Each structure stands twice: as C-alpha cells, then as structure tokens.
Amino acid sequence: MLNYLGRAFIGFLNNTYGTLRILSTVFSSFLNLPVGRRAKLNVLYKQVYFTGIEAFSIVFWLALILGIIVVTQVISILPKIGGEHFIGQIMVWVVIRELGPLFAAIIVIARSGTAIASELGSMKVHNEVLALEVMGINPDHYLVMPRVIGAAISIFILTLYFEAVTILGGYLLAGFGERLAFDEYISSILNAMGFLEIGVSLLKSILFGLMIGAVCCYHGLMVGKSITEIPQKTTKAVMGSFFMVFVVDAIVTVIFFR
C-alpha cells in the first residue's frame, strides 16, 4: 500500500513539474512571438478555430439545456417564498462564478484535449517532432505554445458564450410567461453581478485553458516509440486535466470568495 502511494505521489510530482515546465516554455515562446511569427500564428488560428469556433454548436445546446434546468428550478421555488430578489444572486453564483468556466473547460477537455494529446503522441511515434528538431525548429515553440494559448483563448470565448446562452436562453424557454418578467429577471442579474464575479469567471477560464493545454501537451509529448502508448497518454492527459481544473477552481474560489 505504501509502495503504491509512494509511486503515485512521485508520479504526481513528475506530472506537475512537467506541466509547469511546459507553461514556462509557453510564456517564453509567447514573448518571442516575432521569431517565426507567421508559422506560430497559423497554428494558433487553427487551434482556436478547432477548439473554440467549432465547439459553438455543442456549447449552445448544453448551455441551453442547463439554463432551462437552472432557471426552471429558480423560478419555480423563489417566487413562492417571496425570494424574487434572490434570483439574480443565485444565477450569478451558479452560472457566472462556477458553471460557466467549468463547463467550458469540461467540453474542451472532452473534445479538444484528447485531440491535442493524441496528435502530439502520433507525431512523436512517427518522428515528426524529431524532424522539427533536426531542422532547427523548437517543437515547444511551434507545437506547444500555439496549442496552449489557443486553448486559453478558446475557453475564454466559450465561457462568455456559455454564460450568455444559459442566462438568456434558459429564461426565454423556461421562464417565459411566468410571474417573473424578463426585465425584472435581467435587472436582478445585473444588480447581483459585479466586476469581481466577471473578472473571476474570466480568470478561471484563462487559467483552465492554460492548464488543459499544458497537461495535454505534456502527456502527448511523453509518448515513446510505440503507438499503443498514445491512448494511454491520452487517458492520463484527460484525467490530469480534470484534476488540475478542479484544483485551480478551488484555489481561485477560496482566494476571491472566502
């Protein structure tokens, strides 16, 4: 038992160190963006399009369904006990503070995190990463930085989109015709939503994107020569991304809303 726990702890430390090393490389490469800017930006644009823009449809439907569930519960309970003025606060607490960035991160992990890890793993198996190094191209600058920054930008955009669809679309479908008027619903949310809530929500989205991109790139580049390692590292990338997202979420929440 102790042997297993020790190996697990050492593995956790190695993965954490590798993720932090990836992040330091990303920041260094981002500061040197003019070097090979066209190639880096081309990969970055493709990553944002695949991770963010192409995910709009699935994010829309998930946000709409979640909005219907949350708005239905809120509107069905609070007006009956005279708590209409708490509707905005509850929606801000549930959607803006937590569910918006968290659901956007989960969608990106399931949809794009696996793709990043498996793609880089396949490139390692087929010696494409080695070919870049032979040509004098730093794989961290060309492969890793655009994917990590692209994931952060994508989750930032998807968080705003998710929150807007959840709050507006959820009311239009679940709350239309109820005793609570739409202008009262929106005004209660705007009164409860301050710069702190918006700032923390967007901060979480950026941190989630950086951690997801770094974890997936790290595990993808850890693939060796065997193609059977790709699904193994992809699974580790997904589980590691979920773990880091929830850890970062807890830390940020405690810091700002303690």
Please identify which residue in the block is written with the tokens 């593995």: 11
Q: Containing domain of residue 49, as a range?
A: 2-257
How high is the pLDDT of residue 135? 84
Tokens representing residue 114 in the block: 């696996």
| More confident position, 12 or 252 | 252
Q: Are residues 87 and 192 in contact, defined by beta-carbon separation less than 8 angstroms?
A: no
pLDDT in tens, 233-246: 899 999 999 999 99
Task: State how far the Cα of 245 lies from the Cα of 114, in Å rounded to an integer.
Answer: 15
Which residues fall within 8 angstroms of residue 195, CB to CB, at 6 or more apart? none
pLDDT in tens, 47-70: 999 998 999 999 999 998 888 888
**Full-model pTM:** 0.89
How high is the pLDDT of residue 237? 92
pLDDT in tens, 72-86: 887 777 666 655 667
What is the three-class DSSP state of 14? helix
How high is the pLDDT of residue 106? 94
Question: If pLDDT is split at 50, 70 and 90, which confidence band does 185 have?
Answer: confident
Question: If pLDDT is split at 50, 70 and 90, which confidence band does 150 have?
Answer: very high
Q: Are residues 165 and 221 in contact, defined by beta-carbon separation less than 8 angstroms?
A: no
Number of structural domains the chain divides into:
1
How high is the pLDDT of residue 209? 94
Residue 153 has pLDDT above 90, yes or no: yes
Selection from 124, 117, 149 nearest residue 26 by Cα: 149
How high is the pLDDT of residue 67? 85
Residue 177 has pLDDT above 60, yes or no: no
How high is the pLDDT of residue 228? 87
